[in-house]
Amino acid sequence: MNHTTITVDGAFRSDAFAHGVVARGALLAVAGQLALNEDGSTYAPGDLDAQIAKVWRQVEAVVRTAGGDMGDVVKITSFVTDPDHIGPVVASRAEVFPGGQAPASTLVVVAALARPEFLVEIEALAVIP
């Protein structure tokens, strides 16, 4: 990781996200990841925690296949279908990005995702040095 994390005074600070991140390198755009089995069926319908874990594994697989690691992620956007899902997603983010290395982050509650069984979708931008 060769990123500079930006934090500013006058805005709430948290180890769970950065206010901004400056990075140089190749931009990696990671598609919104969903809880899909390899055969395209829905993974763990109705199980939020399992879907969150599956989605993060896939984000990491994509970043690693591109030659980076999770420290290269500069921005994530998380979409959930219910405000009750916010807490578990925020908790998972802190586990995935420990020790104050969290990227810039946006979390959105949407009306629905592509299938009714999907509870969470997470996309990421990474910059690979």
- Reference 37, options 21, 18, 51; nearest CA is 51
One character per residue 33-62, x = contact with other proteins (rule: CB under 8 A): x--xxxxx----------------xx--xx
Q: Does 16 bind other proteins (CB under 8 A)?
A: no
Q: Which CB sits closer to other proteins, 28 or 102?
A: 28
71-110 binders of other proteins (CB under 8 A): 77, 79, 108, 110
Measure Cα distances from 55 to 4, 88, 89, 104 in Å.
26, 13, 11, 18
Question: Backbone dihedral region of 56: left (phi > 0), alpha (psi from -120 to 50 degrees) or beta?
Answer: alpha
Q: Could you say whether residue 66 binds other proteins (CB under 8 A)? A: yes
- Is 64 a binder of other proteins (CB under 8 A)? yes
Q: Is 31 in the site for other proteins (CB under 8 A)?
A: yes
Where does this chain bind other proteins (CB under 8 A)? 26-33, 36-40, 57-58, 61-66, 77, 79, 108, 110-114, 121, 123, 125, 128
